[in-house]
Amino acid sequence: MDRLKKLKGYQGPKGPLMLIIMDGVGFGREDDSNAVFLAKTPTLDRLFKSSLCTKITAHGEAVGLPSNEDMGNSEVGHNALGAGRVFAQGAKRVNEDFRTGAVFSGKLWNKILDRCKKGKAVHFIGLFSDANVHSNINHVDAMIDNLANAGIKKLRIHPLLDGRDVAPRSALTYVAPFEEKLKKIRETKGFDYVIASGGGRMNVTMDRYGADWNIVKRGWDAHVNGIGRKFHSCEEAINTFYAEGVDDQYMGSFVIVDNADKPIGMMEDGDSVVYFNFRGDRALEISKAFDEGPEFDKFDRGRIPEVLYAGMMEYDSEAKIPKNFLVEPPVIQNTVCEYLAKEDITMFAISETQKFGHVTYFWNGNRSGYINETLEKYIEITSDRIPFDQAPKMKAYEITEKTIELLKSGKYKFGRLNFANGDMVGHTGVMDAAITAVETVDECVDKILKVVQELGGIAIITADHGNSDEMFSMKKDKKSIKTSHTLNKVPFVIVDFNNTGQYKMADIPNGGLSNVAATICNLLGYEKPSDYDPSLIAF
C-alpha cells in the first residue's frame, strides 16, 4: 500500500482527533416514538445545529447490503467506517453464492453430502429470521431443498429465536412454515427432517466477545447433548414461553423429545453441523466450542461427538475461525488505521465488551489483533451481566473516564470509542431506559469534548446505525414495540474549536459511513487514499 500524502495548506490539529460513535443514535420522527428526541440532550442539541453537522446513511447499499430496505448493523457499520469503501456484506455476499449456486458446488458442501449419505445427520444452527443482520432463513430453505434433492435422509434444525432484529414475538411467523415444509418432506419422501432444539438469541448460543460463556454452554448442551427444557414441538415451546411472559430473544434453551421423553436431535459421531449465521460476532464462540480440542477451557462440553462443523462464513480471518466455512468473506485490506500506522500515528480504541470487537476486529477489516502494537492500545471495559434496561447507563462513565485519561496522557493522536447504550438499551424496547441511555451518552460526549478542546484537538461524533430513535411503530392505530435497528440517517458532526474556515462540509448527496475514513485522513492533515470514498469535508 502507498503512503498517505500530506495536504497542502492544512496540517491538522495540535491535539488529538477523537472519534465518538454513538451506537444506535439516529434521526427519527420527532414524536413520542423517538427516545433520542424525548431525551434531554443539551450537548447533542447544540451540535446538531452546527454548520459542521450533516446526516449520513448507515444502512442498505451504503454499507454493502442488498437493498436500502436492509437495516444497518454494527458489524457492517464499523467495517465501512474503518475501510473507507463499501464492500459486499453479510446477506449480499451470501445471497450471491446462493443465487449462483456456488455454495452448493463447493468442496465443503459436497463433503457434507458425502458424509451424510451414509445415514448421518446434517444439523443447522442459527438465528431463525429474515432480518438479514445475522442470518436469513431463506438460506436455510435453500439448503433444505438441496439436501432433500440429494437424498440426504436425516436433518435436524436448531433455531435461535430472534425478536430483536424483527418483532419481539414473531417466532411462529418463521417456525410454522418450516414445520409444514419438514412435515411435507417426511410424508412425501420418508426422510427424517425435524426441529430438534432451540432458544432465544440472548440466552442461548449467541454470546459475543466472551461476555457470558454460559450462553454458549446452554446452546451446546441443547444442540449437542439434548439437555434443556423438554417439549414435544417447537411451537409448544414458543407458546409456553409466551404464556410465561417471555419474548423470543429471552427464551431459555429447549429440546424436542419423543413420546418417551428422549431428545430427538442429539449430535452423533459422523454428523455434520452448519452454523448458518453470516455475521461473525455472535458466531465466534460457538465455533470455538466445536472446533477446538482439549485446549478449550470455557466450559465443560461433556460428550464431544466427532462432527464436521462449518460456518456460513469465516468469522475471523486471522484466527481462522471456523476451520471450515461455506462462503468466502469480503477481503478488506488497506483500512484507514493501516494507513495511519504507516505514518507512525499513535492510536487507541475503547469500548465496553458488548462493542469492543466493533472498534477493533470489524474496524480493522475483520481481523483480530493489533495492526501495530507499538502504536496502538485497545481498551476493553468489561460489561455488566445485567439486562440493559435495568442498567441503561451501562459502562459509559467508565469508558469516558478512561478515554479522558488516554487523551490527557498526550500519547495518542487518534482515538475511537463506541458508546453501546443507544443500541443495546434500544433493543430492549423499554422507552424510559432508552431515554436514560441517550441522556447518559449526551453527558459523556460533553465531558470528552471539554478535554478535546483543552488539548487543542478535534472531535467527530457519529453513529453506526439507528435504534433508540424508533422505539415503536404504529400499525392500525396500535403501538408495536420496535427492538430492531432503524433505517434512519445518523449524525456526522465535527467539533473543531480552532476552525476558522479552513474547511466546510462537502456537498456529498449520498454520504454514508464509508466517507468517514477519508474525512479522518483529511482532519489529520493527509489526502485520502485514491480508492477511498470522498471526504465529508472540503477545503
Which residues form the catalytic set? 74
**Residue for grid cell 446513511:** 57
Reference 223, options 242, 202, 197; nearest CA is 197
Separation CA 534–CA 317 (nearest Å): 28
Angle between the N-to-C axes of helices 74-83 and 516-523, in degrees from 0 to 180, rounded to the nearest 10: 40
d(CA 132, CA 88): 13
The C-alpha angle with vertex 254 and arms to 252 and 256, in degrees rounded to 5, equals: 165
Residue written as grid cell 456484506: 89
- What is the grid cell recorded at 205? 448460543
The answer to whether 346 touches 413, Cβ cutoff 8 Å, is yes
Q: For residues 331 and 342, what is the distance between their CA atoms, to the nearest angstrom?
A: 20
CB contact at 8 A, 203 and 221? no
Dihedral sign computed on CA atoms, order 291, 293, 296, 302: positive
CA 445-446-447 angle, 5° bins: 90
3-state secondary structure 29-61: CCCCCCHHHHCCCHHHHHHCCCCCEEEEECCHH
DSSP SS3 for 21:
strand
8 A C-beta contact, residue 414 and residue 377: no
Residue matched to cell numbers 465535527: 494
Q: d(Cα 267, Cα 306) in Å, to the nearest integer?
A: 9
Q: In whole angstroms, what is the distance from residue 499 CA to residue 504 CA?
A: 9
Contacts of 368 (CB under 8 A, 6+ apart): 316, 318, 319, 360, 361
Could you write out the DSSP letters of every residue in 89-116? -HHHHHHHHHHHTHHHHSHHHHHHHHHH
Describe the crossing of helices 396-408 and 431-454 by its angle, rounded to 10 degrees. 10
Q: Under a CB-based contact definition with an 8 Å cutoff, are residues 437 and 35 in contact? A: yes
Backbone angles phi, psi at 319, to 5 degrees: -80, -10
Main-chain phi, psi angles of 317, to 5 degrees? -75, -25
Q: Are 471 and 26 a contacting pair, CB within 8 Å?
A: no
**DSSP H helical segments within 101-193, as ranges?**
102-105, 107-116, 137-149, 171-189
